[in-house]
Amino acid sequence: MALLLLIGNKNYSSWSLRPWIAMKVAGIAFAEQVISLDAGDFQERVRKISATGKVPALADGETQVWESLAILEYLAEKFPKAALWPAEQGARAHARAIAAEMHAGFTPLRRHYPMNVKRPVKRRAPTDEVVPHIGRIDAMWKDCRSRFGQGGPFLFGAFGAADAMYAPVVSRFHTYGVEVSPVSRAYMEAVMGLPAWAEWYAAAVQEPWVLPSDEVDWPAVLEV
């Protein structure tokens, strides 16, 4: 039985992007089901797989996994050849630490810069609360590229779970014209150059749904 990944709108659902892009880049076969976050029966449909009623959620036969980081850990165990975590112990520990940091933190940044793939690139100045988060992520990316990135253009060389966790941040920084270092900008370009990124983007811009809560220019809806 094929894996089933339940996700929200590709335009807005940052958490859904994480396991989706990891599986695509790793070549893990799966079926996807998109449910708009504002669907009237969203909770009813999602709770068939996710106990929290939130996306993303993964079904593998009778096994059900929710929360993006937990899904990535499950996939890493089920598909060890995908090498979603670095092989070297120290690098692997660091990758897990920054993945967990992303999963649990940066709430002000998420709120100020909601993921919105359709929005044209237009700078939105950060608030005082958000500035330290941008600095932390920029420093983190530079550190990973310097210490662990010799084998490729991503945080730990090859694309992996840590990159998947930060893929929505790449989208946010790009959309809102967030200024980062040249090293981080090069990293963002590498992520956005992935065929999987282009596939997600192409699907997102075709979606009909508009969620006012994620449109920072509301009541205007800016679309590419």
Q: pLDDT tens digits for 13-30?
A: 999 999 999 999 999 999
Cα separations (Å) of 137 from 129, 142, 199, 215? 14, 9, 25, 23
- Express each pLDDT in 129-188 by its tens digit: 999 999 999 999 999 999 999 999 999 999 999 999 999 999 999 999 999 999 999 999
Report the pLDDT value the prediction gives residue 117, as an integer from 0 to 100.
97
Place 224 in a pLDDT band, splitting at 50, 70 and 90: confident
Question: Is the pLDDT assigned to residue 1 strictly greater than 90?
Answer: no
**Dist. CA 130–CA 102, nearest whole Å:** 14
Residue type, 118: K
State the pLDDT confidence band at 120, using cuts at 50, 70 and 90. Answer: very high
pLDDT 10s digits, 178-200: 999 999 999 999 999 999 999 99
Question: What is the spatial distance between Cα 199 and Cα 21, in angstroms, rounded to a whole number?
Answer: 10
DSSP annotation of 8: -
| Mean pLDDT computed over 104-126 | 96
Alpha helices in the chain (DSSP H): 14-26, 42-46, 68-78, 89-104, 107-112, 131-148, 161-175, 182-192, 195-204
Residue ranges and CATH numbers for the domains of the chain are 3-82 (3.40.30.10), 89-201 (1.20.1050.10)
Give the Cα separation of 110 and 106 in Å (integer): 6
> Residue 2's pLDDT is what?
85
